[in-house]
Amino acid sequence: GPMLSVVCIENLQQGIDLVNSLEYGLTSGLQSLDESEQKLWKDSIMAGNLYINRGITGAIVNRQPFGGMIVGFWWRCEGGWS
């Protein structure tokens, strides 16, 4: 089921690096009003569904992929994305 982890990080980039090092990249969300943080996060995070300043649950079945950018419905393979 859903799981929430809380960790202490020094800055947003460290958080992005931590998230991108995980096995799955299903859904990720960011709460920030700073447009430069939003851009950094959007351009860097590896997840199938991204949400900024809203809830991160409720993907629409048959419209949004369930799975991540690393392991899941969409996965990274040698030479590109599959």
For the question of whether the overall pTM of this predicted structure is more than 0.75, the answer is: no
pLDDT in tens, 12-51: 999 999 989 988 777 889 999 999 999 999 999 988 788 8
Q: Which helix (H) or strand (E) holds 25?
A: none
- The H-assigned helical ranges of the chain are 12-20, 35-44
pLDDT in tens, 56-70: 776 666 666 555 666
d(CA 50, CA 28): 5
pLDDT for 59: 65
